[in-house]
Amino acid sequence: MLKPTVGPIIGHTTTNHARIFIRGELQKNLQVFAGLRYRASNTTQWSNALLIKLDESRDLSDVFILNDLQEDTEYEFQTGWFCPMSPVHTVDSVAELPLQWPRELYRLRTRCNKPLQARAYILGSCRYLRLTAGVPILPLLGDRIFTSINQLIEGAQPPISATVMSGDQIYADDLNLIAPDRSYKDILCKYRAAFSQPGIQRLMSGTSTYMILDDHEIEDNWPANADAADAADDELYRNAMAAYELYQVSHSPAYALTTNGQLDHASLEHYWYQFSEGDIEWFVTDTRTRRNLSGDEPRILDEAQEQALCNWLINSAARVKFVVTSVMFFPDRQLNGDDAWQGFAQQRLRLLETVRTHSIKNVVVVSGDVHGSLTSRLSHSEDADFEIHTVVSSPLCNSKLLPYAKASTFVLDQPLVRTAAGDYSHELTSEVISEDNFAHMVVEADHILINYHDRDGKQLQSIAIKLR
């Protein structure tokens, strides 16, 4: 059995369930199978082997589902792929073979449902990895920050529950004006290269990773730059989404399980999803593929997603509610801000009014996109009980051709929006970081601590958000 060519990627994990993505490789037109076995750490008895036949239609990748796990328990697992010589093997018949497992052990920890327990997360977005002819150029630059994240995770207390990547995990367009990636084959190649670099591979093989796309998984400022009458743009979108579903969505909660506890490949209805841990809940929005730019009121979320988000905000009993949006919720930009929530003012106001009129506490918006990191606070002139915080973490690795955001990038000297019921005004609660960075966020009983670190792991600043 050989090590995965991509992965393992630990995805959605609950108190009793985990999803693990791996990819194999085609060899001499033989059938390809993948296997995984696991056990609670410090025990000796392995589970029965989980086996999957890998298919070229899924780029020889798939997701193992681990069910009936114990809460707040560390497990270790081995996984890999193999090609039996006989062309007539099935999943049942290869189970009888004496498999030689790869020696490497990976570890995961199931969730704990205890309330008020401190929990920690890694936040980041916008990871640029330049490829030429399918080969990474200076790959250490695009992977360097993940080595620093791994070093922080090793000694982190509380332990890191998950990494949340809020967009632009790849740059499919890659600023390549000569031959931008548009084919399915080329975009798959980009994912394989991006997710198999040693630093990010180590991170995702040991920590649950949740992802949502932004524009560069397709094309810069998609869909504003798309031509509805252009068949090539339609083909680009289909190719980009097919690759995205394999490498980012497949191990997320967006897919349902079948009645026998396996991944239901036919169940994907939308890319937005929710997950939770104890008294902390997350709503990860899709602010890219359900946009409607026509009509009197442009929408960044489709109607069903907006309604689901509002219902969750109103009805969830979570102590802290994190809303992930790949583009900035606030503050607005001085220039070219219409790609973010600034361009969808009516829908944004409806969400703000939902939070304010229902007196919803401890709402924090997590985003990326702007190639600068910051925290900010939104208040209301006539409602002292209202506040929403944003935590922005971007970029993990910038291109030298793209500028970093600065404080002067944002509109900070006037209210975000004026209404008859009062003004929504915002302020920065941190400095704006204008370099490659990631955020280490710790949710305590009475506050959230956000520590920003540079690509070498050095702490840049620390911000505390008081919980109510």
3-state DSSP call for residue 341? helix
In angstroms, the CA 179 to CA 173 distance is 9
- Token digits for 450? 């956000």
3-state DSSP call for residue 355? helix
Contacts of 16 (CB under 8 A, 6+ apart): 67, 68, 69, 70, 71, 110
Q: What is the DSSP string of 139-166?
A: HHHHHHHHHHHHHHHHT-SSPEEEEEE-
pLDDT at residue 139 is higher than 90: no
What residue ranges do the domains of the chain occupy? 6-109, 119-466
The predicted structure's pLDDT at residue 132: 65
Q: Are 65 and 42 in contact (CB under 8 A)?
A: no
pLDDT band for position 129 (cuts 50, 70, 90): confident
Residue corresponding to tokens 């059995």: 1
The predicted structure's pLDDT at residue 323: 98
Residue corresponding to tokens 């810069």: 220
In angstroms, the CA 251 to CA 272 distance is 13
pLDDT band for position 36 (cuts 50, 70, 90): very high
Q: pLDDT digits over 83-97, tens only?
A: 998 888 889 999 888
Task: Enter the pTM of the model.
Answer: 0.96
The predicted structure's pLDDT at residue 178: 53
The predicted structure's pLDDT at residue 133: 64
Q: Are 350 and 303 in contact (CB under 8 A)?
A: no
Q: What is the DSSP string of 317-339?
A: --SEEEEE-SS--SSPBSSS-TT
Q: Provide the mean pLDDT of the chain.
A: 94
pLDDT at residue 167 is higher than 70: yes
Enter the CATH code of domain 6-109.
2.60.40.10
For residue 331, is the peptide bond before it cis, meaning its omega torsion is within 30 degrees of 0? yes
Query: Which amino acid is located at 402 in the chain?
Result: L
Q: pLDDT digits over 285-309, tens only?
A: 999 999 999 888 899 999 999 999 9
Q: pLDDT digits over 237-286, tens only?
A: 999 999 999 999 999 999 999 988 889 999 999 999 999 999 999 999 99
In angstroms, the CA 52 to CA 65 distance is 11
Q: Is 102 exposed, middle or buried (0-12, 13-18, 19+ CB in 10 A)?
A: middle
Q: Does domain 119-466 sit in CATH 3.60.21.70?
A: yes
270 closest CA partner among 219, 322, 213, 313: 213
pLDDT at residue 310 is higher than 90: yes
pLDDT at residue 402 is higher than 90: no
390 closest CA partner among 453, 348, 335, 336: 348
User: How many of the other CB atoms lie within 10 Å of CB of 274?
Assistant: 14
Q: pLDDT digits over 426-456, tens only?
A: 999 999 999 999 999 999 999 999 999 999 9
Q: Is 359 exposed, middle or buried (0-12, 13-18, 19+ CB in 10 A)?
A: exposed
- Token digits for 226? 């798309």
pLDDT at residue 175 is higher than 60: no
In angstroms, the CA 124 to CA 211 distance is 10
In angstroms, the CA 407 to CA 410 distance is 6
| Range of lowest pLDDT (7-16, 150-159, 170-179, 356-365) | 170-179
Q: What angle do CA 122, 247, 180 make, to 5 degrees?
A: 105
Q: pLDDT digits over 320-370, tens only?
A: 999 999 999 999 999 988 999 999 999 999 999 999 999 999 999 999 999
